[in-house]
A = this chain, B = another copy of it.
Amino acid sequence: MTNIYVDAMGGDFAPQATVEGAVMAVKAYQIPVTLVGRETDINKELAKYDVPRDDVRVIHADSVIGFDEEPVYAVRHKNDSSLVVALDAMKGDDNAVLVSAGSTGALLTGALLKLGRIKGIKRPALAAPLPRMDGGRALLIDCGANADCKPLYLSQFAAMGSIYSEQILGVKNPKVALLNIGTEAEKGSMAVKEAYELLSKQSGISFIGNIESKEVLRSEADVIVTDGFTGNILLKSIEGTSSVLMKTIKDTLMASAKGKLAGALIKSDLSGLKKQFSSDEIGGSPFLGVKGGVIKAHGSSSAYAFKNAIGQAAAYGKADITLRVKAALAN
């Protein structure tokens, strides 16, 4: 059985959304969940729901690591924080999975320091599932954990991303593409050209070549491999451009009576669209390559998003991702 831990104090709407999400998950998936954080706060929230207490364990942690705290310092010094207490509880249990919507930097640093890398993995990487036009997911790996990457790291990202795409996102024989500034093999920086060479020869993955950033959302690529600097630029650019465009359209609609009428007519359609691109639906970002599972949920996660992330964590444990990554490295 997978032991699922939730950082009950992480995220913009904690502990309300974390506790409610855990309750929803316990009911939906029939799995026990351990909430880590201030016991009185958690119990106060839990009292609102009718849920068997055997299924919801609580581990007390006195403090919380804030979004603005320096990650290494915070993880080293805040031993009583919900994040560090949860990671300490997981130690040695490769099948445990943590869900947190707290500071990304602290989560990655904490996971590296407390859980450690899987033997042979050079750099664990954060993988973000992007919403593709066809309803599928393109897993972008690395999307921010490693600003400087050697070609070998990218080849490991491809292997780990493929495992996750297949096991958790349900893609059979996932197609792996290398993010580049052109589709031809000879395009790109020196490091990217070397990565292309490695990926072309790599067994255990289905490499389909380069992909340009403008094709990411409308391609058939299931796993998109890049360094953490470029991946983060791409991820946040997609977020920023969508948000700017949606706001501009909204402002345009609100500026005239005709526009307001049109807005009323298509409100439900637009909210369907919004749902398609919502991080609540898309799922959390796994930090792949550490011992045990770590799922980063969006800071603004709702209870519903936490429920989904916990479901993802259960699938993660059930599929034995850590063991599969180990096995892939042994090949």
Chain A residues in the interface with B (C-beta under 8 A): 133, 144, 147-148, 179, 181, 187-190, 192, 212-218, 228-230, 232-234, 236-246, 248-249, 252-253, 255-256, 258-259, 261-263, 265-266, 269-270, 272-273, 276
**What are the 8 A-B residue pairs with the smallest beta carbon separation, nearest first?**
A214-B240, A262-B262, A214-B236, A213-B237, A262-B265, A241-B241, A181-B232, A147-B189
Q: Are B269 and A133 in contact (CB under 8 A)?
A: no
Q: How far is the CB of A136 from chain B (nearest CB, A)?
A: 14
Interfacial chain B residues near A259, Cβ < 8 Å: 265-266, 269
Pick 20 A–B contacts, CB within 8 A, sort by A. A144-B181, A147-B188, A147-B190, A213-B232, A213-B236, A214-B239, A217-B244, A229-B230, A230-B233, A233-B237, A237-B241, A241-B242, A245-B246, A248-B273, A248-B276, A249-B249, A252-B269, A259-B269, A261-B262, A262-B263
Q: Are A256 and B273 in contact (CB under 8 A)?
A: no
**Which residue of B181, B218, B243, B276 is within 8 Å of A147 (Cβ)?**
B181
The chain B residue sitting closest to A187, CB to CB, is: B147
CA distance in complex: A95, B88 (Å): 67
**Which residue of B233, B246, B249 is within 8 Å of A181 (Cβ)?**
B233
CA distance in complex: A265, B188 (Å): 45
Q: How far is the CB of A271 from chain B (nearest CB, A)?
A: 11
**Which residue of B133, B228, B230, B236 is within 8 Å of A244 (Cβ)?**
B133
CA distance in complex: A244, B215 (Å): 9
Q: Which secondary structure characterizes the binding site on chain A?
A: helix
Q: Are A266 and B270 in contact (CB under 8 A)?
A: no
CA distance in complex: A212, B144 (Å): 12
* A249-B233 CB under 8 A given contacts A148-B190, A265-B262: no
* A216-B189 CB under 8 A given contacts A181-B147, A261-B265: no
* A252-B273 CB under 8 A given contacts A147-B192, A217-B244, A265-B261: yes
CA distance in complex: A147, B249 (Å): 35
